[in-house]
Amino acid sequence: MVYDGNDNDNDLDYDSLSDEEYEDVIANFLSPSSFEILSIFIFLSLMVIGVCGNSLVVYVVIRRKKLWTSMNFFLANLALSDLLVLLVCLPPTVINDITKTFWFNSAVCKSIVFFQNTSVYVNILTLVCISLERWHAIATPLKQKLWRTESTITLIWIIAIVLSIPEPLTIKTYPAVFNRPNFTTTWGTTCKESWSDDVQRYYQLIQTVALYFLPLLLITALCIHMAIILSKNILPAGVRQTTTRYANFL
């Protein structure tokens, strides 16, 4: 970020200002507007609702054994990954967006990106597993599953964590550049990747194809197949209702 104080007030002689006064001008320029302050309260409200709702899902599933089904465990896994973003990533991200400044060190910067990516990947992989679970219940209801829910959820988190490692390794904090010699301030600091724009584009392209389009294609294909089976009334009588036993998880 390059900041030119002259854009803020052409009548002010910036060369005559002390560093403290110059920083005050920058702070005033980057401080949140009334609308942005309102946005903070909206984000906080959404965060509280999200934390309460997702926490309740996880709590209820854990506490009530009669809810210990494969589907409910996958739903609780989705809620847990959402909690990760709401509690760890959302607060510093909102502060950064409102003040146009990243106030934390590089470690926090890397952690935010890591947890955000991990949560997204966990959500995507869990949705794929839920689709496979429904497809198995409809297409091959009498066959035993080849996977266990507990092992699948563990594998989901391992894969998500591994996939989330590369980008944070390139993340750094960069101080803003000001038209004032030997002046430094935290205001205007950004958190971004250190690799080239070309590498960033290739990385995002691979991410989009592998972790968006391919899962979407698979989920769509499974849903179409399930719709075809149900529309043709292929399932044997008494088999359409899926019953998930404790043995599937244990």
- Strand boundaries in 79-174, DSSP class E: 171-174
pLDDT tens readout for residues 117-140: 999 999 999 999 999 988 988 888
190: phi then psi, degrees, rounded to nearest 5 = -120, 160
Long-range CB contacts (within 8 A, 24+) of 99-104: 99/30, 99/31, 99/32, 99/187, 100/1, 100/30, 100/188, 101/30, 101/186, 101/187, 101/188, 101/189, 102/173, 102/189, 102/190, 102/191, 103/186, 103/189, 104/173
Structure tokens at 126: 């869990």
Give the number of other CB atoms < 10 A from CB of residue 44.
13
What residues does 171 pair with on adjacent strands? 193
CB 139 within 8 A of CB 226: yes
Full-prediction pTM beyond 0.85? no
pLDDT value at residue 210 = 92
Handedness of CA 122, 125, 131, 136 (dihedral sign): negative
Q: How would you write the pLDDT of the chain (250 residues) with one tens digit per residue?
A: 555 555 445 556 666 677 787 778 888 877 777 887 888 888 889 899 999 999 999 999 999 988 888 889 999 999 999 998 888 888 888 888 888 888 888 899 899 899 999 999 999 999 999 999 889 888 887 676 657 888 999 999 999 999 999 999 999 888 888 777 778 888 888 888 888 888 888 998 999 999 999 999 999 999 999 998 888 865 544 444 444 443 444 4
Q: Over the stretch 42-85, which tens digit does the pLDDT of each residue have?
A: 888 989 999 999 999 999 999 998 888 888 999 999 999 999 88
Task: Give all domains of the chain, ordered by start, each with its CATH number.
Answer: 2-248 (1.20.1070.10)
